[in-house]
Chains A and B, each alone.
Chain A
Amino acid sequence: MDFLRPASWEEALAAKAEHPTAVPIAGGTDVMVEINFDHRRPEYLLDLNRIGELYEWEVGERDVRLGAAVPYTRIMDHLRAELPGLALASHTVGSPQIRNRGSVGGNLGAASPAGDAHPALLAAGADVEAVSVRGTRLIPVEEFYTGVKRNALEPDELIRAVRIRKADGPQAFSKVGTRNAMVIAVCAFGLALHPGTRTVRTGIGSAAPTPVRARAAEDFLQAALAEGGFWDSGRIITPSVARQFAELAAGACNPIDDVRGSAEYRRHAVAVMARRTLGWTWDAYRGNERSASCA
């Protein structure tokens, strides 16, 4: 095994081009487990720890450009306002020690259907900045997940950053597991209201081979909110609308039975989380509406 330690982003890209089989290592919270247990013996490890820009973020007009290796702890501490869904999801990852090292770039690299960043990214709207010596591609996050633990990166590409839409409304994240810390999601759900465009986006984790959006549920809810004039009135969402939204969200799942839960349980839990996160976010929206109209 060889340990490649590029000192700059350009060097990292050159190394990846020269050694396409090199395994990047950022926080190492996925990679090192595989190496410790001899599940993986890469020819090259490509260390990203020395590349400063991967640990930085920029808050722009529309997006936060989040460096691939920014640890979850920093997202929780510094980006809660801009990325509330991702900050909530980050807080559920592993433990403080894991959150101090683990990163969204690593979550995307691993592309586990259970990765907690994914539902939040899907709900907020995001593009993965994939870079190689050949150039930069922006991959919409919903196209990034191509199969169980597979992603759309080419062998010579690295993730430079994720461009995540800044929140323009309330967001929520919910995760089912056996306890509060150190839990791989049985399933997870992210929801973002986008009052600016009067749209709603969702993300489901651990209930299909890849993280997915519940598109039929989104379409239904958007239409129902528009037709009922809910965005303007800020009225409580009719229970039947919430119920149908939840059923459609469960319908987007294609889960399996495994040690963490049965397929049936996962479908049920996704419906419950969909209904609850809609309640939480809509309450927050109504609260803001009311305070805005009072002002």
Chain B
Amino acid sequence: MRVNFTVNGRPQEADDVWEGESLLYVLRERLGLPGSKNACEQGECGSCTVRLDGVPVCACLVAAGQVEGRAVDTVEGLADYAGRRSAGGRAGTARGTDIDEARRWQARPPGARTAELSPVQQAFIDAGAVQCGFCTPGLLVAADELLERNAEPSDADIREALSGNLCRCTGYEKILDAVRLAAARADRAEEAV
């Protein structure tokens, strides 16, 4: 079957999709967007978290056919999404990361110009919240949505919002630090205006 939907603000068409296929498979294997990770395929780990019409969901539990006509935002589009949000536009409408652009993307050698990151992504790096990195994309999407909804989350709010994301490396403390850091920076930026 064919599925038409919007990914990171761009219309996409996936062909020859098997009817039982998950959104995660379509993103990773058909659209070349491997940012959303596949660790459990049963909703337990959150590493595949994406936003479906703005709502955080496990992409592994959404049937591909269910996204027809809908908007999906993945970690690949996060910087852009955050940019559009802070520009005041409704996220999800303007230009997203081009699929081809995303395919061509390569990690730059140290010292080279770094790719543009969203505030949450930058905070994860600065707080040392990334070790092996496998859980990071899902956590970034979940954390970004939390901060969009709740600019001043309590520790309990952060724990609750991230309770569907497992990390085997960090012990979570640095991840909590990263979310606090992103919230604090946004707060300061707000004051500066």
Interface residues of A (CB under 8 A from B): 1-3, 5, 25, 27-29, 31-33, 35-37, 41, 45, 47, 49, 94-98, 100-101, 180-182
State which of B6-14, B51-59, B129-137 sits at the interface with chain A.
B51-59
Q: For the complex formed, measure the closest distance between the CB of A270 and the CB atoms of chain B, giving whole angstroms.
A: 26
Q: How far is the CB of A77 from chain B (nearest CB, A)?
A: 11
Q: Contact at A36–B163, with CB atoms within 8 Å?
A: no
- B150 interface contact, C-beta 8 A: no
Chain A CB within 8 A of B153 CB:
no
Query: Bound complex: CA of A90 vs CA of B163, how far in Å?
Result: 15
Contact A181 B60 (CB under 8 A): no
Q: Is B42 an interface residue (CB 8 A)?
A: yes
Q: A5-B68, A97-B57, A101-B57 are in contact. Are A32 and B142 (CB under 8 A)?
A: no
Q: Is the CB of B44 within 8 A of A182?
A: yes
From known contacts A45-B65, A182-B164, infer whether A95 and B19 are also in contact, taking CB-CB under 8 Å.
no
Q: Which of A35, A49, A94, A101 contacts B20 (CB 8 A)?
A: A35
Contact of B1 with A by CB under 8 A = yes
Contacting residues, chain A, for B167 (C-beta < 8 A)? none
Contact, CB under 8 Å: A29 / B43: yes
What is the count of residue pairs linking A and B with beta-carbon distances less than 8 angstroms? 86
List residues of chain B with CB within 8 A of the CB of A5: 65, 68
Say whether A37 contacts B164, CB under 8 Å.
no
Q: Contact: A32 with B61, CB < 8 Å?
A: yes
Q: Lowest 8 CB-CB distances: which A-B pairs, in order? A: A95-B164, A181-B163, A1-B19, A3-B19, A3-B65, A36-B41, A32-B61, A97-B164
Q: Interface size (B, Cβ < 8 Å)?
A: 28
B175 to chain A, nearest CB (A): 15
B65 and A94 form a contact (CB under 8 A): no
* In contact, B19 and A2 (Cβ under 8 angstroms): yes
User: Is B22 positioned at the interface, with any CB of A under 8 Å from its CB?
Assistant: yes
Q: Which residues of B contact A29 (CB under 8 A)?
A: 43, 58, 61
Closest to B1 in A: A3
* Residues 29-64 of B at the A interface (beta carbon under 8 Å): 41-44, 46, 49, 55-58, 60-63
Q: Are the C-beta atoms of B42 and A47 separated by less than 8 Å? A: no
Chain B residues, CB < 8 A from A28: 61-63, 66
Interface bits B107-136 vs A (CB < 8 Å: 1, else 0): 000000000000000000000000000000
Complex Cα gap A33–B165 (Å)? 17
A32 and B63 within 8 A (CB): yes
Task: Please tell me if the beta carbons of B163 and A96 are within 8 angstroms of each other in the complex.
Answer: yes
Among B44, B58, B63, B142, the residue within 8 A (CB) of A25 is B63
- Tell yes or no: B160 within 8 A of A by CB: yes
**A181-B164 CB under 8 A given contacts A33-B43, A35-B20, A47-B66:** yes
**With A1-B20, A5-B68, A37-B42 in contact, do A95 and B163 touch (Cβ < 8 Å)?**
yes
When C-beta atoms are compared, the residue in chain B nearest to A36 turns out to be: B41
CA distance A95 to B57 in the complex (A): 10
> A36–B164 contact, CB under 8 A?
no
Contacts A95-B46, A98-B43 given: A33-B61 contact, CB under 8 Å?
yes
CA A213 – CA B142 in complex, angstroms? 38
Within 8 A of A (CB), among B131-174: 142, 160-161, 163-165
Nearest-CB residue, chain B, relative to A30: B61
Nearest residue (CB) in A for B68 is A5
